[in-house]
Amino acid sequence: MTFRQRKLDFTPGSRFFYSNTGYILLALIAERVSGMSLNAFTRQRIFEPLGMPQSVYRTQPDMPIGNRALGYAPKRTGGFVVSMSDWVQYGDGGLHTSLEEMHRWDESFYSGAVGGPAFLTEMHRTGKLNDGTALIYARGLEVDRYRGLRQVRHGGDSVGYHANLLRFPDQRTSIALFCNVEEIDQYTLADLVADIVLEGRFPQPKRVDPPPAPSLPIGRFVGDYFDSSIDEVLAVTEEDGGLVLRYVHLTLPLISLGPTTFMAKDIPSSRIEFAVRGNSPARAVRVKLYANEADEAPVQARRVTNAVPVGLHRFAGTYHSRELGVSWKLAVIDEQLTLVETPQIVLPISGPLRPAMTRSSFHSAAGLLRFTYDAAGHASGFDLSFNRMQGIRFDRVGRP
């Protein structure tokens, strides 16, 4: 997709979005410049000098990994099932290591054993936007403060796996969490460990989240909201007497913290704030899921009234995306435009499409689809936006 992408999502340097793709490209650059595979390169330059013989990148789906911990997901009925991906991608992840060897890697940030002082300085150099806004994101590290202490950190997620590494350099204390089960918040857990290990050394108290408190009648918040800067529709629904926020692939039950403020269940640092005037329904919503993601702007979405589409059958057909290399089939089923016959690689995206802001736009778990028309007025294709991917083109296959 990166090679075939038609356009940029935004002007470089105008905003910050974390991107795994950048690290995948960086791995390719390392291989091409060195003339070595990533495993050979990192073995020679990093793992052998630091005494990390077990650390290796999984570059093939059937590649054997010694002492590998499988990834799991909890079952609704109790117990667990194996939850893992056969994706072959590395650079942004794919590294298999142990806590003992991660400790040796962490120590190199104190000793400079790999790269020396110049490398350490560059790794910690934070970015800056075109308008001068300072970022906490550096070279694969986030540099900020926790309860007044300087910290360096980074975490990540994959199917069945979650990890986080915190380093408090002035206290020469690091905390690493490796988790091989889904539905776990490694970031909050790491902070809780830091609270215990560094108790009495923080100059600032731990932030206390407000207790639950009654909200305005929740019916005033129900509806669809649209953030034009990221082409994203947020749906707020009432389910089982409470509010639920659907945002990209997330389904988040909300807990009321006051008249117009909520937090997402199991994400204590999250804040969902509705803008309300008088007795009218909420006109906008502001969403910030993770307080420590300081560089990423909060979602600012305004309430929209969904249009009633006319002639759903004119949108039915098969559409192909050269950028993604996939074809999607749309059909009218039970008087709803429906996405069918789509491979469910990771996220379940097939199913009915809901009308969106205009008569030619729809949204669902697949994202926001904006249809375009040819000179004869027939649907010629659509532009798809989902999460950080915007304007992915699908063209109709054959005549309508």
Question: Tens digit of pLDDT for each residue in 16-35?
Answer: 988 888 999 999 999 999 99
Q: How far apart are CA 328 and CA 362, in angstroms?
A: 14
Query: Under a CB-based contact definition with an 8 Å cutoff, are residues 373 and 379 in contact?
Result: yes
Tell me what pLDDT residue 344 has: 54
Tell me the residue type at 205: P
Across the range 297-302, mean pLDDT stands at 93
Q: Which pLDDT band, with edges at 50, 70 and 90, does 283 fall under?
A: very high
Q: Which pLDDT band, with edges at 50, 70 and 90, does 5 fall under?
A: confident
Tell me the residue type at 343: P
| DSSP secondary structure letter of residue 44 | I
Measuring CA to CA, how many Å separate 309 from each of 58, 299, 359, 376, 399?
Answer: 47, 27, 4, 18, 21
Q: How far apart are CA 240 and CA 195, in angstroms?
A: 36
Tell me what pLDDT residue 320 has: 94
Q: Which pLDDT band, with edges at 50, 70 and 90, does 175 fall under?
A: very high
Q: How many CB atoms lie within 10 A of CB 2?
A: 11
Tell me the residue type at 295: D
What distance separates the 2 farthest-apart alpha carbons in the chain? 72
Q: In a 3-state reduction of DSSP, which class is residue 232? A: strand
Burial grade of 340 (CB within 10 A; 0-12, 13-18, 19 or more): exposed
Q: How far apart are CA 214 and CA 216, in angstroms?
A: 7
Phi, psi of 85 (to 5 degrees): -115, 145
Tell me what pLDDT residue 347 has: 67
> Sign of the C-alpha dihedral, residues 334, 338, 341, 342?
negative
Query: Cα 172 to chain center, whole Å?
Result: 30
Tell me what pLDDT residue 310 has: 80
Tell me what pLDDT residue 216 has: 96
pLDDT over 80 (residue 64): yes
- CA nearest to 357, candidates 316, 394, 302: 302
Domains of the chain: 20-197 (3.40.710.10), 218-304 (2.40.128.50), 312-396 (2.40.128.50)
Tell me what pLDDT residue 346 has: 59
- CA nearest to 28, candidates 119, 111, 91, 113: 91
pLDDT over 70 (residue 103): yes
pLDDT over 80 (residue 142): yes
Query: What is the share, in percent, of the chain residues with pLDDT greater than 90?
Result: 72
Q: How far apart are CA 191 and CA 166, in angstroms?
A: 9
Q: Which pLDDT band, with edges at 50, 70 and 90, does 242 fall under?
A: very high
Q: In a 3-state reduction of DSSP, which class is residue 270? A: coil
| DSSP secondary structure letter of residue 257 | B
According to DSSP, the β-strands at 142-146 and 149-158 are antiparallel
Supply the pTM of this predicted model: 0.85
Tell me what pLDDT residue 14 has: 93
Number of H helices, E strands in the chain: 6, 25
End-to-end CA distance of the chain: 27
Query: Under a CB-based contact definition with an 8 Å cutoff, are residues 40 and 57 in contact?
Result: no
- CA nearest to 270, candidates 209, 345, 333, 205: 209
Across the range 211-222, mean pLDDT stands at 96
What residues contact residue 265 under an 8 Å CB cut-off, 6+ apart?
Answer: 252, 253, 254, 255
Phi, psi of 260 (to 5 degrees): -130, 10
Tell me what pLDDT residue 389 has: 83
- Please list the residues that pair with 73 across neighbouring strands: 81
